[in-house]
Chain A
């Protein structure tokens, strides 16, 4: 089995030669999957060189088709020889066969999809910025009165509903009242009615809740930022050069640039280059004195990734960026060591990778699809590690979609 590839007009043609059978079907499918991941989502398989097609081979063709349909791409077999046509139609899969003219027609249509995007090329990355709704903006409430690393008190908490109308992040847990969550508080994020949070303790895996019918997830939070409103822009990015990645700080800067605002909110679905972050391993509700933030006792409360983790996974990011210099926001938006006046608070929920469709995609649908397809593997509060020489820097991303909006921060009410 041999595969040759050529791309023209946004359509990738994969030329197969030899046998597509049990021995080579995985090889073929992996090649397709890699193309999908890299954003080549209109695939034609040139079957003229195919000598043999077994059931396993047939299955891999079908899987490719399903995967591409899932991300709004297309998959078809062209230049099929007689026996391939026969095999496909006998097994009822002749829908996979495309007439050459079809393919050409689609090829002509394809450039239209870039319509409305401002395309830029920066340091090996192709960036497409789509304007969704120029007037859209968000209101963000800063909830909870807790000062980090101090012993919390009852009155500091806030009840934060996490319905589909908002994006949010913070430290909290679902529960009736503060007493019931005091020992289980952890980092959380929410978008489109899907909430994930990291219960402290042994399990090491996040838990999650999804809005369904009349049930709306809700957390009792020590501190949280909850943004509601619409997104104004969508940023798509993907590498053009091998190894090019977008850093979290560059991403934050792009949200400010896209909206021309000093404060932004964003939600993103991104393939991870490497995450650097921390997560709570002991509920901050249990902090009793001022020692929690001191080394080494801080290690009992907080776990640091220690290396760049989750490469290749898909992450859901919820973040808020503030370059306004407002002192009121400072308690909710920490300043990374190297961003010069840009404060940001970003949480990431990590999922197994699955490809996204190209172009404009809907945030709520994409997030819902994510939560229905797999469970979160990890949840992190992203940080920058700027230690000299050994520092890990900040998190990086390979490709993805970022929904962006300007934001006004207001002080929320405590429960």
Chain B
């Protein structure tokens, strides 16, 4: 279970460039819950994921996974509990290393790495089996550099890598956004499949309303560093794209409703 308590993060504090990216976000994701985060550009979605992954430490607030306070854990230590897929297909793999080598590295996530052979027979077989299950024909290309693959193939492999060792929490940051529509759909389907199969706890940032409505069991909407909507349970079941559009519209309107407007409008509302 992931528990985010009142996290704030300000970039360039005290300067003209000050950005209050997170303004006290509190969010609890139950075990086995697949939650999507949607929100306008710059609303702090990635920042929230980064705060959970430990890319930086939050200014205030804390993060718990299964009751353990990981607020001050460095990124690599959190990786024992957290699997990650980034938006950029280049970010999650080492392009010049082979598919097999990349996967072998992921197989050791959170474990000690000795001077044993990375790609022993048994490891190779295991890799080939799981890669074959992707049905992308990649099992014959295990010794090709992963950089020679398409973005979609790379993202599929990154997803496989992030979940090879079952993570307590899987973070997906717009992991289909950089792909063409067909590959995006493919990777999205694979994502749903893996998550359902392994009953993973997931936090997924997406810009696709379609994905937000179809894939997860919960949708959290962020705006200006805050959580502004939280569709869970029954409320999520009835959620349609039009509802999300309206919610976006609402937060946008809320922004346009400033103090000057209030001064004028409130006396006219009788």
Residues of chain A touching chain B, judged by Cβ–Cβ distance below 8 Å, are 148-149, 202, 204, 223, 278, 281, 293, 295-296, 298-299, 302-307, 331-337, 345, 381, 383-387, 391
Contact = CB atoms under 8 A, between A and B. Distances in A.
A349 to B, nearest CB: 17
B259 interface: yes
Contacts of A281: 250
A383 B269 contact: yes
Given A202-B243, A333-B270, A385 B253 contact: no
A226 to B, nearest CB: 15
A281 B178 CA distance: 37
Interface string B240-254: 000100110110111
A148 B256 contact: no
A119 to B, nearest CB: 34
A148 B268 CA distance: 10
Per DSSP, are chain A's interface residues mostly helix, strand or loop, or mixed?
loop
A302 B265 CA distance: 10
A305 B253 contact: yes
Interface string B96-118: 00000000000000000000000
B136 interface: no
A306 B256 contact: yes
A347 to B, nearest CB: 11
Given A385-B265, A387-B261, A304 B253 contact: yes
Contact of B269 (A295, A302, A391): A302
From A204, A304, A307, residue with most partner B Cβ within 10 Å: A304
15 contacts: A148-B269, A223-B270, A278-B268, A278-B269, A295-B262, A296-B259, A298-B262, A299-B257, A299-B262, A302-B265, A303-B253, A331-B270, A332-B270, A337-B268, A387-B264
B270 A345 contact: yes
Given A295-B262, A298-B262, A383 B268 contact: yes
A149 B139 CA distance: 68
A53 to B, nearest CB: 39
From B254, B259, B261, B269, residue with most partner A Cβ within 10 Å: B269
Contacts of A335: 267-268
A204 B269 contact: no
B16 interface: no
Contacts of B260: 387
Given A302-B269, A385-B261, A204 B254 contact: no
Given A337-B264, A386-B264, 18 more contacts: A148-B270, A149-B266, A149-B269, A293-B266, A304-B256, A304-B257, A305-B253, A306-B256, A306-B257, A306-B261, A333-B270, A334-B267, A334-B270, A337-B268, A381-B269, A383-B264, A385-B261, A387-B260
Q: Closest 3 interchain pairs by CB?
A: A306-B256, A295-B262, A383-B268
From B253, B263, B266, residue with most partner A Cβ within 10 Å: B266
A309 B250 CA distance: 14
A344 to B, nearest CB: 9
B270 A304 contact: no
Contact of A295 (B246, B255, B259, B268): B259
Contacts of A278: 265, 268-269
Contacts of B254: 299, 303
Contacts of B266: 149, 293, 298, 302
Nearest to A300: B254
Contact of B252 (A148, A296, A306, A334): A306
Nearest to A146: B270
A186 to B, nearest CB: 12
A383 B270 CA distance: 11
B1 to A, nearest CB: 27
Given A204-B250, A332-B270, A304 B259 contact: no
B246 A204 contact: yes
A335 B270 CA distance: 10
B268 A336 contact: yes
Contacts of B250: 204, 281, 303
A199 to B, nearest CB: 13
A204 B267 CA distance: 23
A304 B246 contact: no
Interface in B211-257: 243, 246-247, 249-250, 252-257
A383 B257 contact: no
Contacts of A384: 264, 268
A304 B268 contact: no
A204 B250 CA distance: 9
A307 B267 CA distance: 19
Nearest to A276: B265
B239 to A, nearest CB: 10
Contacts of B259: 295-296
Nearest to A336: B268
Contacts of A381: 269
B212 to A, nearest CB: 16
A228 to B, nearest CB: 21
B269 A306 contact: no
From A306, A334, A384, residue with most partner B Cβ within 10 Å: A306
